Amino acid sequence: GAGVSQTPSNKVTEKGKYVELRCDPISGHTALYWYRQSLGQGPEFLIYFQGTGAADDSGLPNDRFFAVRPEGSVSTLKIQRTERGDSAVYLCASSLSGQMNTGELFFGEGSRLTVL
Amino acid sequence: GQSLEQPSEVTAVEGAIVQINCTYQTSGFYGLSWYQQHDGGAPTFLSYNALDGLEETGRFSSFLSRSDSYGYLLLQELQMKDSASYFCAFSNQAGTALIFGKGTTLSVSS
């Protein structure tokens, strides 16, 4: 596709369950980012991949959160033992190289996670 | 630390001009980006200023003053479709991600 694709668009789960959120970036973009956005707030950085490796995971809130990008394209964000506070929209973004000299990221529409 | 401050809400009428200010605090500044986000939608890139001055893109312009740690987004000839949230953002100190402000909700009325 032409843009960043995220699935599912909506996910409702129960406290304590495991969830996976998928991101398919723009073809050819080596840099991939996960952000989390709560209502009325700006996107909050979680993790940055350059190719297959996590170049910066300093934004992951705790060890229940993990992300992979095994082939340098599609990425999966994994959340274990979900808590109600994990409810948010999880945004994925990609960019051509990861260089911040253009300030431009291409975002998907996000996966809305609701933990009951 | 790093922070960005912008007003939480701005209201205006169709056809008017509105300015959304952003002040920031950081070390190792690269430049200031602006994003638009409609309800339920993806943030979309509007502009980026690396150097001082005004950048114009159609009805939207963005300004940066590095010495004042200040920038703004100027929207002219407002239309109802401009009702959205607007975020300023800059690179984190490692140069690995953008840090976003809390956003300004713009409401345009007829």
Burial class of residue A95 (count of CB atoms within 10 Å of its CB; 0-12, 13-18, 19+): buried
What is the nearest CA distance from B39 to chain A, expressed in angstroms? 10
**Residue A31 DSSP symbol:** E
CB atoms A101 and B92 under 8 Å: no
Strand A19-24 with A5-7, pairing: antiparallel
Q: Which helix (H) or strand (E) holds B24?
A: strand B18-25
Residues of chain A found within 8 Å of residue B98, distances taken between Cβ atoms: 43, 45, 100, 103, 105
Cα–Cα distance, A45 to A47 (Å, whole number): 6
What count of other Cβ atoms lies within 10 Å of the Cβ of residue A79?
Answer: 22
**Which tokens is A89 given?**
């929209």
pLDDT of B35 > 70? The answer is yes
Q: What is the pLDDT of residues A52-63, one digit of tens each?
A: 999 999 999 999
pLDDT in tens, A1-49: 589 999 999 999 999 999 999 999 999 999 999 999 999 999 999 999 9
For residues A108 and A26, the answer to whether their CB atoms sit within 8 Å is no
Phi-psi sector, B77: left (phi>0), alpha (psi -120 to 50), beta: left
Residues 6+ apart with CB under 8 A from A66: A60, A77, A78, A79, A80
Specify the pLDDT at position A1.
Answer: 54
Residue B41, number of CB atoms within 10 A of its CB: 13
CB proximity B1 to A under 8 Å: no
**pLDDT > 90: what percent of chain B?**
88
Question: How does pLDDT run across B78-103, given as a tens digit for each residue?
Answer: 999 999 999 999 998 888 999 999 99
Question: Which burial class, exposed, middle or buried, applies to B105 when counting CB atoms under 10 A from its CB (0-12, 13-18, 19+)?
Answer: middle
Phi-psi region of A97 (alpha: psi -120 to 50; beta: other; left: phi over 0): alpha
B44·A107 Cβ contact <8 A: yes
Chain B nearest CA to A73, separation (Å): 18
- Of A62-76, A89-103, B50-64, the one with minimum mean pLDDT is A89-103
